[in-house]
Amino acid sequence: MNFFETFLIAVALSMDAFAVSVCKGLTWRKWTLGKALTVGLWFGLFQAAMPTIGYFAGTLFAEKITAIDHWVAFVLLAVIGGKMLWEGIRHDDSDADTTETPLGVRVMLPLAIATSIDALATGVVFSMNGVQIASAAALIGVTTLLLSAIGTKIGHAVSGKIQQFAEMLGGAILIILGLKILLEHVGLLDKIAEFITK
């Protein structure tokens, strides 16, 4: 597997983290490089760690995890997204300037796990194909870090135009993302696509 192929995998794996980063940026009153890098580091580190775990854990352990990983991701994203959606619906204009999703462990850890857990299987594939895991994991981590940081900037730029609905939109996106992950893994997304294209 060459550099370009690994880079494409890195971009594909980082898309969920990118989408969540956009949601984070939607809720920020002010974008700073420090906050963007914090989000990027959380997602980048976990996206690098999960394939490494999969690489060394082997197929047996990975199969057990991948049997439930989509449910874990769905529940985590649905709960966090639902909370954001509810807070966006119930808060009024008086606290619109004070609401901002935090970047602490309680918020970022579940998001980082939810967006990276499916990368375990990628590590197993890497081990079967003799990929150098250190360089591959580093590339995945750096790619995710950069795309996530950019995602927060995009989200923040958009939020100014839809400030009243930004938090609700962010929550809805997280729920939809969780549902997409679930439907993909149980095979329903392909069936729905086939039905629509018929």
Is the Cβ–Cβ distance between 122 and 47 less than 8 Å?
Answer: no
Residue 51 backbone dihedrals phi, psi, to 5 degrees: -65, -30
The average pLDDT across 127-135 equals: 86
Length of the chain: 198
Q: What is the domain partition of the chain in residue ranges? A: 3-197
Is the Cβ–Cβ distance between 77 and 178 less than 8 Å?
Answer: yes
Tokens of 99: 């609401």
Q: How confident is the model at residue 101 (pLDDT cuts 50, 70, 90)?
A: low
Mean pLDDT for all residues in the chain:
82
Burial of 176 (0-12, 13-18, 19+ CB in 10 A): middle
pLDDT per residue as tens digits for the range 26-43: 888 889 999 999 999 999
Rounded CA-CA distance 34/19 in Å is 19
For tokens 């079967």, what's the residue? Answer: 128
Rounded CA-CA distance 15/116 in Å is 10
